[in-house]
Amino acid sequence: MKLKFFKYQGTGNDFVIVDNRLDFFNKNDTKSIERLCDRRFGIGADGLILLENDKMSDFKMVYFNADGNESSMCGNGGRCLVAFAHYLGIVGDECTFNAIDGLHHATIEGSSVSLKMNDVEEIRETEVYSFLDTGSPHHVQLVSGLDDFDVYNEGKRIRYGLYGESGSNVNFVEQGDANGFLVRTYERGVENETLSCGTGVTAVALAMHNLGKARTNKVDVKTRGGSLSISFDHKNGKYTNISLKGPAVQVFKGELEW
């Protein structure tokens, strides 16, 4: 059969997206999903997303990492899926969808999508790094000389050495201005650096605010794929009303033998 697919990107974090409302896609075929994401033998992407029907919300998001395994929440992927649902005419300028970590509300303004993330009640701090879960687990570490930093090898070492087989995403951060940060991320499941990570930049914004490095409740984060904005409320150590905002763009669509 022929598989109709769409390619989207959010600040360089790219995804193969499939409309699976008819429930035809074999979600257990890990090898085929991995092949679709392969940049030489497939379409090429950081992950694959299925849009499915949902009784509780406008649609459901099912996300797979590039290694073919179903994964935790993906912020940029969620924003891209909202843009795709809008393209299909399923939703208007706002919607609610169901993901692996629960319901998310989103709004659309042109090519920009703002996605509400889940509350964060705990940030673990050490002398070297912060750790928190923003829908996916994230290690956040300040470094100097980010442009020349060995993200792949150091990220891989921390991902396995500190967090074991289940792993964590690893974010290396350098402060830009008073309320802006530069970030590079090693993503588990991709097992490499990606140009951007939505749950990662969200984790960075909250961790930097928690450390007193960010002074307001709106933080700008620049990745190698572009800039994202994170806003939030903070009270009694708890972060609520967290929103991740940035571009979500359709790159192309096509068909391939499946």
Identified catalytic residue from 37, 74, 80, 95: 74
Helix axes 75-88, 198-210, angle to 10 degrees: 130
Nearest to 111 by CA among 247, 243, 226: 247
Q: Is 13 annotated as a binding residue?
A: yes
- Classify residue 184 by burial, with Cβ atoms within 10 Å: 0-12, 13-18, 19+: buried
Q: Is 76 annotated as a binding residue?
A: yes
Q: Is 187 annotated as a binding residue?
A: yes
Sign of CA dihedral 123, 126, 127, 131: negative
Please say if 74 is a catalytic residue: yes
Contact in structure between 27 and 89 (CB atoms under 8 Å): no
Beta strands in the chain (DSSP E): 2-10, 13-19, 47-52, 59-65, 94-99, 102-109, 112-117, 124-125, 130-133, 137-142, 169-177, 180-187, 192-194, 218-223, 226-235, 238-247, 249-257
Please say if 95 is a catalytic residue: no
Contact in structure between 86 and 54 (CB atoms under 8 Å): no
DSSP for residue 42: S
Tokens, residue 104: 């998310």
Identified catalytic residue from 37, 80, 95, 197: 197
Tokens, residue 145: 């000389």
Q: Is 188 annotated as a binding residue?
A: yes
Q: Is 199 annotated as a binding residue?
A: yes
DSSP-based three-state secondary structure for 203: helix
Q: Is 75 annotated as a binding residue?
A: yes
Contact in structure between 62 and 52 (CB atoms under 8 Å): yes
Binding site for substrate: residue ranges? 13, 65, 75-76, 169, 187-188, 198-199
Binding site: residue ranges? 13, 65, 75-76, 169, 187-188, 198-199
Residues catalogued as catalytic: 74, 197
